[in-house]
Amino acid sequence: MSAPLSPPVRRALLSVSDKSGLVDFARALVEAGVELFSTGGTRKHLEEAGLAVRDVASYTGFPEMMDGRVKTLHPKVHGGLLCRHDNPEDMAAVATHEIATFELVVVNLYPFEKTVADPNVAVDDAIEQIDIGGPSMVRSAAKNHAFVTIATSAQQYGRIVEQIQESGATTPELRRELAAAAFARTAEYDAAIAGYFAKVLDQQAEEAKGHAPRLAVTLTRKAPLRYGENPHQSAAVYALPHAEPHALVNAEQLHGKELSYNNLLDLDSALAIARSLPEPGVAVLKHNNPCGAATAATVAEAAAKAWEGDPLSAFGSVLGVNVEVDEAMAELLAEPGKFVEAIVAPGFSPAAIDVLTTKPKWRDNVRLLRVGAIEPGRAAIQLRAIDGGYLAQNADDLPDEPAKWEIVTEAQPDERLTADLQFAWAVCRHVKSNAIVLVNNGALAGAGAGQMSRVDSVEIAIRKAGDRAAGSVLASDAFFPFDDSIHAAAAAGVKAIIQPGGSRRDEEVIAACNKHGLPMIFTGRRHFRH
């Protein structure tokens, strides 16, 4: 005769790293007549709370060993997890070998992801946080979910207890749901381990200019988005395990509508530029390119200068700010004729929030995101989908090294020009190639982005800058293949140039600068962005 579809929960096996809510859960199980089995720290935790717990080692007759590496890897444990209650041969084996059946398993895993979130963790320390027995029990219980309930998160305890208190068992539907969550958790856990070792191998291979042969990435959906790049595309944002608290994916949305895919793309670029600017600094982004960026004595002044970079394009933009947004900046943005879709900043003063969330047109639309700190994220692998696969590269986030830059012309930049050249170079790396930016007095005056011809980008930047081109400096994300861009810049009143160098015609370009009396710096590092 077959066993009941939902066997009564008589025994529970508990082994957890995160003990949140465990005592209350276990006490409710005991009150429902469930016998508890446990190991090591979990057993001690429950016994200290006054609960009777049977030691797994005494049950198996085999002690824990090797500093706790071997605790539950035993046939009397996994036999009790995998036996089919409606299979006579399985139940005969249970009786012959004196195996206890477990109808409930409660396991969460060693905190491997949290451990490797520390960039300084030693490989040996990371290895010790790889759980072996836990995933084995989870998989055994999940495989046999027709008869076993598997809990892998404290958030699941409530529903399990409710059903046991009501009927002494759990429903098949709940067991299958929990089994699916359990398999997802072990897959996520294994992907995190594989991803960590891929990163270790990648760091080793970097010396040989290679990348790891396999790349595993585990992501958790953070939120659905309004839509993708276009309204007919669905989208969501996913988070890496243990992303830094100040990462954009963890930003706190203080106000505004649901974010879209494009909002987050622009906010990511705005935040990246803001991080690279002197404080206080403001970046204005439209279609993932800066149309304004500035630094000044106050954040309100920086915002005003940044907006003037391209007032027409700035309407409906997103802003990245590297200090708290204050009331003066908020009042400036809320002036007639101005509007932004979103602002990301370390924080917002209460007065600024009041201004931005009560003004007509702003109150129903603007999104305010607080990241809490402006710190560079850790170097990451960038992935980009192509037909049938992905491209992977190290992020272009190495800090600039002005001490290694070379002035290659007869003319030398003065202090003011040098400051603007450094500012221009910081902004230029965030502009789509071919990228040209003009900077004047600590503010973006004009940008030429995404052109197939570099001289076209130069001419667009000059046109955007208008009168502000005179006295500005020019940055180019890659070398000049010809000297035509130099002549165009000089004619517009540009006073200095910064670029990577490396063209076969560098000497012609240098000669053109010398002809016009322009200082030019070679940085030695290209910043293509596609």
In sequence order, which ranges of 237-391 are alpha helices (DSSP H)?
A: 261-276, 299-307, 311-314, 327-333, 350-358
> What is the token pair recorded at 223?
């939120």
> What is the token pair recorded at 217?
């990435």
Cβ distance 74 to 97 under 8 Å?
A: no
- Name the one residue in this structure whose structure tokens are 């390119």: 289
DSSP labels, 263-289? HHHHHHHHHHHHHHSPSSEEEEEETTE
Compute the Cα dihedral for 348, 349, 352, 357 and give only its sign: positive
Exposure on the CB side of residue 358, measured as CA atoms within 13 A: 9
Q: In terms of pLDDT, which residue wins out, 2 or 9?
A: 9
- Check residue 97 and give its pLDDT: 84
User: What is the amino acid identity at position 480?
Assistant: F
User: What's the rounded Cα separation, in Å, for the pair 212 and 381?
Assistant: 11
Which of 22-26, 40-44, 116-120, 189-193 comes out lowest in average pLDDT? 116-120
Residue 143 annotated as catalytic = yes
Residues of the chain with CATH 3.40.140.20: 243-370, 403-522
User: What's the rounded Cα separation, in Å, for the pair 524 and 401?
Assistant: 10
Cβ distance 365 to 391 under 8 Å?
A: no
- Check residue 234 and give its pLDDT: 94
Q: Is 90 helix (H, G, I), strand (E, B) or coil?
A: helix
Torsion of CA 376, 377, 380, 384, to 10 degrees: -90
| Architecture of the CATH domain 243-370 | 3-Layer(aba) Sandwich (3.40)
Looking at 314-440, which runs of residues are DSSP E strands? 317-321, 340-345, 367-370, 381-386, 389-394, 406-407, 436-439
- Check residue 71 and give its pLDDT: 62
Q: Is 318 helix (H, G, I), strand (E, B) or coil?
A: strand
Please state whether the peptide bond connecting residue 280 to the residue before it is cis, i.e. omega within 30 degrees of 0: yes
Residues of the chain with CATH 3.40.50.1380: 11-193
- Note the CATH number of domain 403-522: 3.40.140.20
The end-to-end CA distance of the chain, in Å, is: 66
Query: Over the chain, what is the mean pLDDT?
Result: 89
- Check residue 209 and give its pLDDT: 57
- Check residue 210 and give its pLDDT: 61
> What is the token pair recorded at 337?
């004729």
For the CA atoms of the chain, what is the radius of gyration? 30
Which fold, 11-193? Rossmann fold (3.40.50)
pLDDT tens readout for residues 28-71: 999 999 999 988 888 899 999 999 888 887 787 666 666 666 66
- Residue among 294, 231, 274 at smallest CA distance from 369: 274
Q: Point out which residues pair with 282 in neighbouring strands.
A: 294, 321
User: What's the rounded Cα separation, in Å, for the pair 164 and 336?
Assistant: 62
Q: CA triplet 383, 226, 233: central angle to 5 degrees?
A: 60
- Check residue 204 and give its pLDDT: 61
Q: Point out which residues pair with 317 in neighbouring strands.
A: 340
Predicted confidence (pLDDT) at residue 488 exceeds the cutoff of 70? yes
- Check residue 2 and give its pLDDT: 42
Predicted confidence (pLDDT) at residue 1 exceeds the cutoff of 60? no
Residue 76 annotated as catalytic = no
Instruction: Indicate which residue of 19, 74, 76, 143 is catalytic.
Output: 143
Mean pLDDT (whole number) for 467-489: 96
Mean pLDDT (whole number) for 480-502: 96
- Residue among 176, 178, 141, 140 at smallest CA distance from 157: 178
- Torsion-angle region of residue 388: left (phi > 0), alpha (psi -120 to 50) or beta? left
Q: Percent of the chain having pLDDT more than 90? A: 61
Cβ distance 450 to 473 under 8 Å?
A: no
Predicted confidence (pLDDT) at residue 187 exceeds the cutoff of 70? yes
Predicted confidence (pLDDT) at residue 377 exceeds the cutoff of 70? no
- Check residue 410 and give its pLDDT: 96
What are the distances in angstroms from CA 19 to CA 106, 112, 386? 11, 16, 43
- Residue among 112, 187, 106 at smallest CA distance from 153: 106
Q: CA triplet 235, 240, 243: central angle to 5 degrees?
A: 120
pLDDT tens readout for residues 215-256: 777 788 899 999 999 999 999 999 887 778 889 999 999 999
pLDDT tens readout for residues 440-451: 999 999 999 999
- Check residue 499 and give its pLDDT: 97
Residue 3 pLDDT class (50, 70, 90 cuts): very low
Predicted confidence (pLDDT) at residue 328 exceeds the cutoff of 80? yes
Mean pLDDT (whole number) for 449-477: 95
- Check residue 4 and give its pLDDT: 44
pLDDT tens readout for residues 99-151: 888 899 999 887 787 777 777 788 888 888 788 888 888 999 999 999 999 99
Instruction: Indicate which residue of 19, 74, 242, 287 is catalytic.
Output: 287
- Check residue 453 and give its pLDDT: 93
Cβ distance 141 to 114 under 8 Å?
A: no
- Residue among 160, 107, 97 at smallest CA distance from 137: 107
Which of 68-82, 184-198, 204-218, 228-242 comes out lowest in average pLDDT? 204-218
Q: In terms of pLDDT, which residue wins out, 200 or 336?
A: 336
